[in-house]
Structures are given as C-alpha cells and as structure tokens.
Structure 1
Amino acid sequence: MAWLQEEVENAIKNVIEDFTDALLSLINDIYDAILGPIVGVPAPVSDSGYMVIGSPDNAPWESLYQDVYLPYILPLSIMMIVIAFAFVGLRSGSISEYRRKQLLRRLGLVFMGTFVWFPLVSIPLQFFDAVGMTIAPTDEMSAGLGGLIRSSL
C-alpha cells in the first residue's frame, strides 16, 4: 500500500507543479506584453543629438512622425487653432481688450507649440527610456518575471 500512497503524492505534486508552471508562464507573458510596448520602445533620436529637430531617424518614431503626426495631428491642431482664433474674432465685441489680448497671446503660444513640442518632448523621452530600462529591463537583459517569482519561492 505504500506504493499507492507514493503514486498519489507524486500525482498531486505533478499537478501542482504543472499548474504553477502554467500560471507563471501566463503571468510572464502578460508582463512581457505590458512591459514591451512601454519600456522596450527606444526614445526618438536623430542626427541632431538628444533633441529631435525635424523627423526622427529610428523606428517606430520615424513611421509615427511621417504617417500619423504630419498628416493627422498637425493639421488637426492647426484647424483647432484657426477655429479658436475665429471664435476670439467673433466675440471681440463682447470680450474686454485685456482678455482678447490675453487669449490671442495664448493662441500664439499654442501655434508655436504645435511645431516645437516634438523636439522638446524628445529630451524627456530619452530620460524616461533610460530610467525604464534601469528599473525594468527587457528581453535578454533580465531573467524575466517568472524567474524572479521562482527565485522568491
């Protein structure tokens, strides 16, 4: 009867090991799926150095800049600025002189900001990329979440 007890214990151990392995692999896959797009994407770079002036040179930023930002985001933001400018012009009779000048200054800053936000944002993106790779390295740089969980068990 001792052999039956050993077989039952081994079967229970195998089921528990298979379940924990499947659960750890699921958690690791979810972790990689969430972390990859956040940390694994490099910061935008160009020949001009840390500040990207013009279009970025590396993927995925080059295609995003050319295929999304220039044809969609930039014209949409300029149209919204024109609509806001028209609103200020239409309401100029009911808005005080001080308030109208203040709104026009803000519109001017927003108009200039539509062209310089990408170069200014590229600097902190490089910083956050470096911090993210230090805190949560991806791919071959780390053992992965499953290895960390197994080592803590």
Structure 2
Amino acid sequence: MKLYHGSNIEIMQPDLLRSKPFKDFGQGFYLSPVYEQAAKRAKQMTELLQEGSPVVSVFEWNEQDTTGLNIKVFDDYCSEWAEFVLANRDRDRVHPIHNHDIVIGPIADDGVTYQLRRYREGDITMERLIEELKYAKGLTIQYFFGTERALSFLNKL
C-alpha cells in the first residue's frame, strides 16, 4: 500500500524525535493513503513555517506483513476514538498514553483543541464531541507510525 506524507521538505527517513507531541494518536509519523490530502498538508506546512516548498514523500507499507506489530484500528468515528484522541492531546497526562506501534483511524477536524476543551469543561456531550471532531470533508483515514519498529516496515519510494 502506498502512503503519503506532506511536508515542506522531502522526508527520506522519518525521525520520531522531530515529530510533534499531542497529536491525534500521539507523537509519531503520520501518513495518508490519499495523495491529495498529503499535498494539501504539504501546502499548509509550507505556509505555516514560511520556508521550503510543498513536498509529498511516498512510502510503501506491506500491510500483510505486520509480524510482531501492535496495531490499533478505528474503523469510524466513535466514542473510543474520541477518548483516544482526547487522551493523546491532553498535555496534563504522562505520554505516551498507549503502546501501539501503528494506529489507523479517522482524522479529527482542525478545530480539535477547541472542541476538546468544550468537552472537558462539560459544555458538550461525548456524542456532540464526536460530531464536532468529524473531518469536514468526510471520513479521512490517517496512519500513525509511532515506534522505530513500525517505521522499519516503511520503504521510501
């Protein structure tokens, strides 16, 4: 399976130490199975950082060969997924909050921080939180590679 990573630079070898903490599934290397989504992310990163140029790095992952990997899959938006995102984005918790090598599941909408705060403060229910976190463009899946072992299963194309 081809997976794409959008950035302002070419990624030859993912480096978990350069990954940002407090993301949907934790600190790790994120990829998309959709080229256009990665290209959009590359453009966003370039504009945000105001350096480099949009680049989509392409990787191959043989999802049939997952020997010894701890993989968590969220097939759709649900309360378990929302709680997982909430925990990974919680700056007051000890991280990492899970031991999965790879997590596959929906992307939270860009307003995630605001919506999580509303939920924590009791302003919205879990059901409303799930609705608010759904990506505006529909169900879009992301792939999180969070360990060196997981990264060893990716091949740069």
Instruction: State the TM-score, normalized to the length of structure 1.
Output: 0.21
The higher radius of gyration belongs to 1
Structure with the largest fraction of helix = 1
Higher relative contact order (CA closer than 8 Å, sequence separation 6+): 1
Instruction: State the TM-score, normalized to the length of structure 2.
Output: 0.21
Structure with the largest fraction of strand = 2
